C-alpha cells in the first residue's frame, strides 16, 4: 500500500508540474499573439489608407484568454482553452522518437480561432453561428502545429521540428485572415426561410430560424485537416 501511495504522489507531482509548464507557456504564447493581432490590425488599417470609411478594423483584448480582431465584415475570435490536453494515442506523432522518448512532449495547450460575421456582434444576433477555422497546439518546449482549414491545415504541421515565435504567429494570423476573407457568406436555401413567426421577425433575427452564418443551410466540412 505504501508503494502504491508513493507512486500516486509521484504521478500527481509530475503531472501537476508538467501541466503547469504547458499552461504557462501557452499563456505566454497567447500574450505574444495579442501583440501580433494588434500590430496586424494597425498595419492593415494603415495600408488600407481609410479610402472608404465604411470599412472598419479593430483589435479588442477581451481578457486573459480571449482577443478578437475585426477586418471589414469579419471578426476572428482567438480563445485560449484553460485546460491542458494530450494528443490522442492514434496520432502519428506517437510513432516518433519525440513522443516515445519523452511522453511529456505530447501534452499541449490549445488556442482556438473562430470566424464570425461582424454584423452578428454589431446587431447582437445571438443565434448566429461562427466556425472554428483553426486550432493552435503548443507544448512546454514551444513546439507547435496548427489544425485547420486549407492552408492552415498543411503549412504548420511539423510539430517535431517547429518552434513557435513571433514570426510564426504572424504567419498563422495572416493565413487565418486570408482564409476568412475568401470564405464567403452563401444564401440559405429558399425552402429554409419560407415561414417566419411574428416573434421571430420582431426579435430582429436573433431566433434560431433566422440565424445567419457563412454556410447556413449547407453542410460545413473540413476543407483541409491534420492527418
C-alpha cell at 221: 466540412
Rounded Cα gap, residues 173 and 41, in angstroms: 10
Residue 224: inside a domain, yes or no?
no
The number of domains in the chain is 1
The pLDDT of residue 186: 63
pTM summary value:
0.83
Residue 51 domain-assigned (yes or no): yes
Say if 227 falls within a structural domain.
no
Partner residues linked to 159 by β-bridges: none
216 pLDDT higher than 70 = no
Average pLDDT taken over every residue of the chain: 85
Cβ atoms of residues 175 and 183 within 8 Å: no
| Structure-block grid coordinates of residue 118 | 461582424
In a domain, 162, yes or no: yes
Output the CA–CA distances (angstroms, integers) from residue 204 to 177, 178, 216, in the order listed.
Answer: 29, 31, 17
Assign 3-state DSSP to the chain and report helix, strand, coil percentages, each to 5.
Answer: 40, 20, 35
100 is a domain residue: yes
In sequence order, what are the beta bridge partners of 163? 143
For residue 149, the model assigns a pLDDT of 77
Residue range 12-28: mean pLDDT, rounded? 94
Is residue 96 in some structural domain?
A: yes
Q: Would you say residue 130 has pLDDT above 60?
A: yes
In-domain check, residue 223: no
Q: Which of 39-43, 76-80, 142-146, 209-213 has the lowest mean pLDDT?
A: 209-213
- Segments in the chain forming alpha helices (H): 2-48, 97-100, 118-122, 151-154, 166-181, 198-202
Q: Give the domain extent around 192.
A: 2-210
Residue 24 lies in a domain: yes
Amino acid at each position: 500500500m505504501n508503494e502504491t501511495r508513493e507512486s500516486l504522489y509521484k504521478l500527481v507531482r509530475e503531472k501537476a508540474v508538467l501541466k503547469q509548464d504547458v499552461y504557462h507557456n501557452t499563456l505566454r504564447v497567447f500574450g505574444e499573439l495579442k501583440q501580433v493581432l494588434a500590430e496586424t490590425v494597425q498595419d492593415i488599417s494603415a495600408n488600407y489608407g481609410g479610402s472608404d470609411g465604411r470599412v472598419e478594423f479593430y483589435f479588442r483584448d477581451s481578457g486573459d484568454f480571449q482577443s478578437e480582431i475585426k477586418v471589414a465584415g469579419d471578426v476572428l475570435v482567438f480563445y485560449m482553452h484553460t485546460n491542458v490536453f494530450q494528443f490522442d494515442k492514434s496520432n502519428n506523432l506517437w510513432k516518433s522518437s519525440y513522443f516515445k522518448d519523452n511522453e511529456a512532449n505530447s501534452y499541449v495547450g490549445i488556442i482556438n480561432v473562430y470566424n464570425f460575421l461582424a454584423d452578428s456582434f454589431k446587431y447582437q444576433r445571438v443565434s448566429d453561428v461562427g466556425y472554428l477555422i483553426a486550432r493552435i497546439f503548443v507544448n512546454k518546449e514551444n513546439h507547435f502545429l496548427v489544425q485547420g482549414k486549407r492552408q492552415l491545415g498543411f503549412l504548420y504541421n511539423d510539430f517535431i521540428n517547429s518552434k513557435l515565435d513571433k514570426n510564426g504567429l504572424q504567419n498563422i494570423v495572416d493565413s487565418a485572415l486570408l482564409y476568412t476573407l475568401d470564405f464567403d457568406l452563401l444564401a440559405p436555401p429558399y425552402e429554409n426561410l419560407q415561414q417566419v413567426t411574428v416573434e421571430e421577425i420582431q426579435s430582429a433575427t436573433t431566433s434560431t430560424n433566422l440565424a445567419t452564418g457563412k454556410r447556413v443551410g449547407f453542410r460545413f466540412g473540413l476543407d483541409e485537416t491534420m492527418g
